[in-house]
Amino acid sequence: MSLFPDFEYSRIFPAIDLRGGRFVRLVEGRRDAEIHYGDDPVAVALGWVEQGAECLHIIDLGAAFGEEDSAGVILDIAARVDVPVQTGGGIRDAEAVSRFLDGGIARVLLGTRAFKDPDFLAREVERYGESRVVACLDTRDDQVQVAGWEEESGLDLAAGIDLVRGAGVRRLLVTATDRDGTLSGPRVELVERVLSEGDIRVIAAGGIGSLADVDSLLSLSHPLLEGVVVGRALYEGTVALDSAVELARERGEGVS
């Protein structure tokens, strides 16, 4: 099993989204706005690693929507690559957490159940440690979204951060859901706002469409910015993985 090291600079997380075992992307997370990229996600994962990926970000969209899950495919990828894998989407009970974290996945990403049941989140953090449990702060119009981004949690951004912090979480995946899969640029101000909390590491997602978009986040030069998720831009060819990885390393020089 490959675990995440202590990052000395922000990493690029190539995203692989699965639905029914197929490799897809959604626009703004809408299940009716699917782009189908292929049927061999294992080959895609191996390809990214060959091109220099230092980690992988895999989301099970089907499981998030209550459809057939792709857990077997995800575990197969983790067994066949030599970089750490984080995964989320529909992980809503302790058994699912165990299946992944005991099965070769480095980190789980918890969203819906975490915000509906913070005691569950706290138990999983205590069981596996804060380095292996990430909370998904999926936001639109300052509101935290759950259930595959189809429901409001009733929490605004500040309340969501307070909830996960109280459960012992020290790492967030922060996604601007209105930008996800759109290639229209990240919400840099959202990422800055969460980083300003000063005690939670952040992986930023949503909207990356160009290398300049990647740089707009990396240029924050914040020691708590752990990485940037890049998805559709890699598959549409508007961002080259090797260029993004090189840029991350360059921007990481001197960040303390």
Report, as residue numbers or ranges, the catalytic residues.
17, 138
The CA angle 102-73-183, to the nearest 5 degrees, is 110
User: What residues are paired with 109 via a beta bridge?
Assistant: 88, 134
Q: How many whole angstroms separate alpha carbon 153 and alpha carbon 147?
A: 9
**Residue 255 tokens, joined:** 């960040």
Could you tell me the maximum CA-CA distance found in the chain, to the nearest angstrom?
45
- Spell out the residues 6+ positions from residue 76 whose beta carbon is closer than 8 angstroms to its own: 42
